[in-house]
Structure 1
Amino acid sequence: MKIAFRADASTEIGTGHIMRCITLADAFKGTGGQCYFICRSIPQSLQDVIKSKGHSFFQLPHGPPFIAREDDVAHASWLGVNWEVDALHTAAVISGIEPDWIVLDHYALDHRWEKQVRGPQCKLIVIDDLFDRPHIADILLDQNLGRSRENYKDLVPRDCQVLAGPEFALLRPEFEKMRAISIERRKKPKLEKLLITMGGADKDNVSGWLIDFFEEATDLGLLSVTVVLGASAAHADSVKMKASTSVIDVYVLQNVNNMAELMKDTDLCIGAAGSTSWERACLGVPSIIFSLADNQKQIAVDLDKHKIAKQAQLWDAASLLEIVKHLRKAKNLTRLGINAAKLVDGLGAQKVVEHVESYNVKAI
């Protein structure tokens, strides 16, 4: 089976789309699938990751710059070109691959692009979480909490399979492997080690602000703070300099490949309410979350509402301090971890592959 992925990673989009597509591609490869990535905007570091895992990579050519129009979808500009240009470029690559499935993970594209790119014998998986534009998908995946087919009833064909909820969260295998160890570790709750992970770019330097916050909150009694930065972190040098002169123990790591281990060994994580929310949940890690993008706002609200994580307001030091003090109580820390662990089992990618294989069997 051949599977072509169309996704990007940029300052606006972040790296989450590419990372979850790589996870799904790895799962397909594990069952004999051949995977091909078609990208327009992606840093070299992620290109290298894709190739190192044995997947093929195609870089789309430059095109005329994006020109806004009245019929654009909400995030059309994130593509860098108009959708017709991207469809033409992508279709040229697709024709050479002749995939059985296309996986589309891009907020800037909708049913118009899909009609131009997919062939008559090719099936389509759309990964989405905004439910703000129509698709002609055969399978639609939305891994967010509280999602259901109802969110997409007017946006996809009636026979489209909607895989909704965190049970389908696309996590790398190491999270499921470390799940039991991480949960067991939390039976004796404490708040000594803190992990900060604000996503790949952290363009607003939330990591730097948090270091300043914990320097001033000396009465919290934390032993160490570890900050994880992505390869494309915009303020990496500033954060590293701040950590080197800090009065508290701050360790800065960049472009790590052992996130599951780092999360397993931490007592509390502070992060963005993006795809890493499901990684933390799988390991039962108590979390404080910030909404850093439009698609994270509802996730943050829902996770807080269901007592799976505590939502904090960005740049509000007073409220953050109250939340951290609340979680210094063992029972509060334990409750968050238990609720989180119930949400995600780490087998989402395998479940999606099983649905695709089942779909293929039915189509024969």
Structure 2
Amino acid sequence: MKIAFRVDASMQIGTGHVMRCLTLADELAGDDTTMHFICRYLPSSLEQKLRDKGFNVSILPASEKSNEEFPLAHSDWLGVSQKIDAGATLALIQNQGYDWLIVDHYALDIRWEKTLRSAVKNVMVIDDLADRQHECDVLLDQNLHVDQEIRYKDRVPSQCKTLIGPRYALLRKEFAEYRERVKPREGKATCILVFFGGVDANDFTTKTILALSQITEHNFSVDVVIGDQHPNKEEIERLCQRLDYSCYVQTNRMAELMVKADFSIGAGGGAVWERACLMLPTLSIPTAQHQVKQLVDVALTGVSYTFDTVNYTSEKIKMHAELLLDNSSLRNLLSTRSAEIVDGNGAYRVAQTLRSEIEINLRQAGILDEEYLFAWRNHPKIREVSFNKNEITWDQHHHWFSSLLSNSQRVLLIGEYKNQSMGVVRFDLQNDSAEISIYLVQENESNGLGLPLIRSAEKWICKHRSGIKKLNANVLESNKLSQGFFIKAGYSPVTRMYCKEL
């Protein structure tokens, strides 16, 4: 797959948008996948991080700031008009065969997306705000909202697939791995973690450190995490040294530190789901206006604790931190509820959705395919998951193939992707139903294409045999891979057949 990301990071925007796109890129990465990050604003440390992973990075040229004709709430984040940005992005991706364009930017909407639509096969939008129209095939909002069932009603096309809620939270793989080691927190809080994101432009970190330093009735250690771009980095390092707090700058040990902690104080945004995945009870503080509603909705579900004020002073942070430190039952409740909401596998689910939306070209098999089909069907891995595990002779194959081509109730399709044969689909028709059978061509790189092959085959049968209303798949009990493909495609087990050879 070829995937382009349009995303930015800056002191104003923060680094969270780039980091969650990076998490998704890591999940999608493979031998046959190309990643291209297109950014106008990107700190050099993040740019190097992307390049170190082998991802392509393009920095859009500086341009004079231009006013948006109909501005969005966050239009100033873009630095230029959507029209200028769309033109610069289009110049980079047009005629390049991109399968997906993934957009994670509060300053872009349907106007930008429509301009890029024809240059790529699919568009995905990552959003949190639901405050503008989109033109996309998939929309992801990983947050928990009280109105999430109707949140994007009339804001996306009717055929758009919406992935809503923390089930799809884009968390790095280590969060799911560390989750196996943790339990809901109980008892005293002896270690507190402080983290307000990669930038923390308003320096909530210092306010929180000062608040904790004034708490004398509880004994605890403090781990402070800041990004390399923090505007008060040196002063925070000195303050932590004086108070004997541990300070970590741009650490890759975030999941480990969360597991170590009993209690956390931090920002909204994606970090909410990192903490929830590891069952870490948290005093959550919005560091930007758009996080206020997010944290209120999360608090209403019992996943996090927040408080409502227009001025988040050290004194107020101290008061609410003490309240949580005094109440182990409340911390346990927050921890337990978090465990029910997030499992750490969101990035995998989103990646599978994108893979399943790949369009496989299907054509009916003909005489010229006979030798190829013979070789593909006899591959050891295909025979291993077939009902007949014996090697097929040429005479057997020729008889089967000739019979199939002359039978109007049987359809054999060859799936092609990137000008290569990648799979085979057979339909056996009976009245208004059909049995579907698939296998992937092992000689070619077909990893991750099983689900797209099924999806594309369903579209083909609906278009060319409109009378078919039901599909059945007969899969060996031992063929867990195919079972997974069909279950993910929406098929339900009906019966289990038992067989014995005599």
Q: Same fold (TM over 0.5)?
A: yes
Deviates more, 1:119-128 or 1:155-164: 119-128
- Equivalent residues, number: 358
Q: 1:85 to 1:187 in 2, by over 3 A?
A: closer
Deviates more, 1:335-344 or 1:166-175: 335-344
8 Å CA contact 1:140, 1:160 repeated in 2: yes
8 Å CA contact 2:191, 2:261 repeated in 1: yes
Give the Cα–Cα distance (whole angstroms) in 2 for the partners of residues 122 and 187 of structure 1.
Answer: 46
The offset of 1:92, in angstroms, is 0.7
8 Å CA contact 2:185, 2:335 repeated in 1: no
1:216-255 equivalent positions in 2, closer than 5 A: 216-222=214-220, 224-246=221-243, 249-255=244-250
Give the Cα–Cα distance (whole angstroms) in 1 for the partners of residues 165 and 320 of structure 2.
Answer: 30
The offset of 1:221, in angstroms, is 2.0
Query: Secondary structure of 1:97's match?
Result: coil
Q: Give deviations 1:320-355, integer Å, cap 9, x for gaps.
A: 424433343332221111111111100001101111
Residue 59 (structure 1) aligns with: 59
Deviates more, 1:233-242 or 1:270-279: 233-242
Q: 1:284 to 1:116 in 2, by over 3 A?
A: same
Question: Can you give the 5+ residue segments of structure 2 that lack an aligned partner in the other structure?
Answer: 359-451, 458-502
TM-score by length of 2: 0.69
The offset of 1:66, in angstroms, is 3.0
Q: 1:28 to 1:334 in 2, by over 3 A?
A: same
User: Once superposed, what is the RMSD of the aligned Cα atoms?
Assistant: 1.7
Query: Secondary structure of 2:91's match?
Result: helix
Give the Cα–Cα distance (whole angstroms) in 1 for the partners of residues 120 and 37 of structure 2.
Answer: 19
Q: 1:241 to 1:92 in 2, by over 3 A?
A: same
Q: Which has the higher contact order (CA 8 A, sep 6+)?
A: 1
Residue 37 (structure 2) aligns with: 37
Q: 1:232 to 1:187 in 2, by over 3 A?
A: closer
Residue 290 (structure 2) aligns with: 295
8 Å CA contact 1:191, 1:328 repeated in 2: no
Q: 1:363 to 1:12 in 2, by over 3 A?
A: farther
Q: Give deviations 1:183-239, integer Å, cap 9, x for gaps.
A: 2xx4553201010001111111111111111121112222x1111001110110111
Q: Does 1:304 align with 2:302?
A: no
8 Å CA contact 1:202, 1:235 repeated in 2: no
Residue 89 (structure 1) aligns with: 88
Deviates more, 1:106-115 or 1:57-66: 57-66
Deviates more, 1:47-56 or 1:118-127: 118-127
Query: Secondary structure of 1:182's match?
Result: coil
Query: Secondary structure of 1:241's match?
Result: helix
1:148-297 equivalent positions in 2, closer than 5 A: 148-183=148-183, 186=184, 188-222=186-220, 224-246=221-243, 249-297=244-292
8 Å CA contact 2:50, 2:56 repeated in 1: yes
For the pair shown, the structure with the greater C-alpha radius of gyration is: 2
Query: Secondary structure of 1:51's match?
Result: helix
Q: Give deviations 1:158-200, integer Å, cap 9, x for gaps.
A: 00000000000000000000002122xx455320101000111
Give the Cα–Cα distance (whole angstroms) in 1 for the partners of residues 152 and 21 of structure 2.
Answer: 21
Q: Which of these residues, 338, 341, 358, is aligned with residue 339 of structure 2?
A: 341
Query: Secondary structure of 2:279's match?
Result: coil
The offset of 1:299, in angstroms, is 1.4
TM-score by length of 1: 0.94
1:22-171 equivalent positions in 2, closer than 5 A: 22-30=22-30, 32-69=32-69, 71-95=70-94, 97-119=96-118, 121-146=120-145, 148-171=148-171
Q: 1:96 to 1:56 in 2, by over 3 A?
A: farther
More helix by share: 1
Sequence identity (%): 37
